């Protein structure tokens, strides 16, 4: 019978040394520094960041590492351990949306975006260039945001490497990481820079969830991010004292389809917001969605139905105009549903020490509710995902869901720690019996935000 394949928690110091050694081997000199940024586990709130909803992510212990060295000829050169033999070079001032292809767009896009959007302290000096070596422990294309981990580690690397070329850059005092790591205001702007790079140069119209988590998380904590103003609230997620774990399963199913599928859903939800006369679809719901009691949640859900009616009218109007005839209302219903779930889940997570086990149990149910909505309304699941979720629930998980944009990717379960091994074995077995590719199980502890590593 199939044994579960467990990944290992990366040894951060060893990863830093590894990318450094790869840099020396490729370029024949020592790098000036190493920077790294985490992928993210989104606990709740999918397809709503770009609609002004709130999401509840957590940084992963799996990171992307970038070793870099300054050059002063305006050239950006990069190699990635995940793309062996595919060295890329570009003159930074020649980078434009559309004139590069493939993985390098995520790297070069950041340099371009820093110059477009960055403000004086982020804009790269004219003759600035760099050699980069990239190595990642975030599964690539697995719904855990290797793309943001790459952008955010690159952004910090370029910012710090350019320091000696900036007249007003004070590099001398305090810890070397201070330039890039200290300040949430600067990090919030860097997140916008990375979002613009992903949207306009890499061509993926994702919202800001991934970059915000990677740059602005607090060590060991989850975040609630309100995407109307990108404000963040860190929350302690003390699973240990409740004897609970997050089981993260990389289903090893490709999600290339996500390109078109994601963009269509985003466009439809945004069109609905416009038809309602709103900046953000989130604003169709009451301002305060916090539900401190279950009764309150019922009441809010009832009000949701009213919103649903209003939305239906808007959708009717849309369907008469330029949307395709099969325009799925469920895409929009999912968004409203997840927006209310996150508010309730955030309340529960903040109060687990007072509310105890029932709070964890309800949190688990909310995870599963969100999954059902992603499967039936948003329709971004696939058989491998459904099987992993169902098997985890059968084996005692309090809840389980698809993480990320869907069409493949990762599944997460909230599960008693003493049931993790049994659930993993059951999922591995079920996959083998169904003839699916073997999944990988990733040990999970909360990580920390992007930083300079030496
Ligand atoms: P996810 O962010 O869920 O992992 P995406 O499709 O958003 O999936 O991003 C994956 C893409 O990001 C890859 O196809 C590749 O172009 C780029 N990428 C991510 N990590 C690396 C890496 N370590 N080296 C090179 N390219 C990478
Ligand atoms: Mg991504």
pLDDT digits (tens, 9 = 90+) for 346-374: 999 999 999 999 999 999 999 999 999 99
For 123-154, b/e burial (b = at least 16 CB within 10 A) is: ebbeebbbbbbbbbbbbbbbbbbbbbbbbbbb
The pick from 100, 140, 380, 410 for probing ligand 1's pocket by mutation, whose C-beta has the most ligand atoms within 8 angstroms, reads 140
Residue 422: pLDDT over 80: yes
Determine whether the shortest distance from the Cβ of 205 to ligand 1 is under 6 A. no
Alpha carbon 3 to chain centroid, angstroms? 29
Please tell me the predicted confidence (pLDDT) of residue 260: 80
Please tell me the predicted confidence (pLDDT) of residue 305: 59
Helices (H), 44-145: 104-117
Instruction: Just list the catalytic residues.
Output: 210
User: Which tens digit of pLDDT belongs to each residue from 226-244?
Assistant: 999 999 999 999 999 999 9
Please tell me the predicted confidence (pLDDT) of residue 173: 42
Ligand 2 centroid, distance to 407 Cα (angstroms): 13
For 335-363, b/e burial (b = at least 16 CB within 10 A) is: bbbbbbbbbbbbbbbbebeebeeebbebb
Can you tell me the mean pLDDT for 40-65?
97
What integer best gives the mean pLDDT of the chain? 90
Please tell me the predicted confidence (pLDDT) of residue 286: 75
User: Which tens digit of pLDDT belongs to each residue from 242-295?
Assistant: 999 999 999 999 765 456 888 888 988 888 888 778 899 888 887 776 666 666
- CA distance linking residue 375 with residue 194, whole number of Å: 29
Please tell me the predicted confidence (pLDDT) of residue 88: 98
Give the global pTM: 0.93
For the chain, report the end-to-end CA distance as a whole number of angstroms.
45
Residue 178: pLDDT over 60: no
Residue whose C-alpha is closest to residue 193's, from 111, 133, 263: 111
Q: Could you tell me which residues are beta bridge partners of residue 67?
A: 34, 133
Question: Nearest ligand, CA of residue 136?
Answer: 1
CB atoms closer than 10 angstroms to residue 413 = 29
Can you tell me the mean pLDDT for 141-148?
95
Determine whether the shortest distance from the Cβ of 181 to ligand 1 is under 6 A. no
Ligand 2 centroid, distance to 142 Cα (angstroms): 8
Residue 212: pLDDT over 80: yes
Work out which ligand 1 atom sits closest to the CA atom of 144. 3
Ligand 2 centroid, distance to 41 Cα (angstroms): 12
Please tell me the predicted confidence (pLDDT) of residue 330: 84
Protein residue closest via CA to atom 5 of ligand 1? 141
For residue 334, give the H/E element and its range. Answer: helix 329-350
Please tell me the predicted confidence (pLDDT) of residue 167: 77
Ligand 2 centroid, distance to 46 Cα (angstroms): 13
User: Which tens digit of pLDDT belongs to each residue from 94-119?
Assistant: 999 999 999 999 999 999 999 997 78
Work out which ligand 1 atom sits closest to the CA atom of 80. 24
Protein residue closest via CA to atom 3 of ligand 1? 143
Residue 214: pLDDT over 50: yes
Please tell me the predicted confidence (pLDDT) of residue 87: 98
């Amino acid at each position: 019978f199939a044994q579960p394949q467990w990944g290992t928690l990366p040894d951060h110091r060893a990863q830093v040394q590894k990318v450094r050694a790869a840099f020396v081997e490729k370029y024949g000199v020592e790098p000036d520094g190493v920077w790294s940024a985490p992928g993210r586990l989104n606990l709740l709130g999918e397809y709503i960041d770009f609609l002004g909803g709130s999401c509840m992510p957590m940084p992963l212990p799996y990171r992307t590492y970038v070793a870099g060295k300054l050059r002063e000829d305006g050239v950006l050169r990069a190699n990635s351990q995940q793309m062996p033999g595919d060295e890329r070079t570009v003159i930074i001032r020649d980078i434009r949306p559309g004139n590069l292809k493939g993985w390098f767009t995520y790297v070069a896009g950041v340099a371009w975006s820093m110059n477009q959007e960055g403000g004086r302290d982020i804009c790269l000096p004219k003759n600035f260039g760099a050699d980069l070596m990239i190595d990642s422990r975030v599964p690539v294309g697995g719904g855990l945001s290797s793309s943001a981990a790459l952008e955010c580690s690159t952004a910090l690397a370029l910012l710090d490497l350019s320091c000696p070329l900036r007249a007003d850059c004070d590099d001398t005092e305090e810890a070397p990481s201070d330039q890039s790591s200290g300040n949430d205001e600067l990090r919030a702007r860097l997140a916008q820079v990375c979002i613009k790079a992903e949207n306009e140069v890499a061509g993926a119209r994702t919202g800001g969830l991934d970059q915000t988590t990677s740059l602005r998380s607090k060590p060991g904590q989850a975040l609630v991010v309100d995407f109307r103003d990108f404000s963040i609230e860190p929350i302690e997620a003390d699973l240990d004292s409740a004897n609970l774990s997050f089981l993260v399963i990389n289903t090893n199913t490709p999600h290339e389809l996500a390109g078109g599928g994601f963009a269509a859903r985003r466009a439809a939800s945004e069109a609905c917001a416009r038809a309602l006369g709103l900046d953000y679809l989130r604003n169709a719901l009451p301002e305060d969605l916090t539900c401190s009691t279950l009764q309150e949640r019922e009441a809010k859900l009832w009000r949701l139905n009213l919103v649903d009616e209003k939305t239906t009218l808007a959708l009717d109007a849309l369907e008469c105009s330029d949307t395709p005839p099969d325009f799925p209302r469920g895409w929009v219903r999912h968004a409203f549903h997840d927006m209310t779930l996150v508010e309730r889940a955030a309340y529960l997570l903040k109060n687990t020490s007072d509310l105890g086990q029932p709070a964890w149990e309800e949190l688990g149910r909310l995870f599963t509710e969100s999954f059902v909505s992603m499967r039936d309304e948003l329709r971004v699941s696939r058989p491998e995902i459904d099987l992993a979720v169902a098997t985890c629930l059968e084996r005692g998980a309090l809840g389980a869901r698809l993480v990320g944009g869907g069409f493949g990717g990762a599944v997460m379960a909230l599960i008693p720690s003493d049931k993790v091994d049994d659930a993993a074995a059951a999922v591995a077995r079920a996959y083998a019996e169904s003839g699916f590719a073997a999944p990988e199980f990733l040990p999970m502890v909360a990580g920390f935000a992007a930083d300079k590593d030496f």
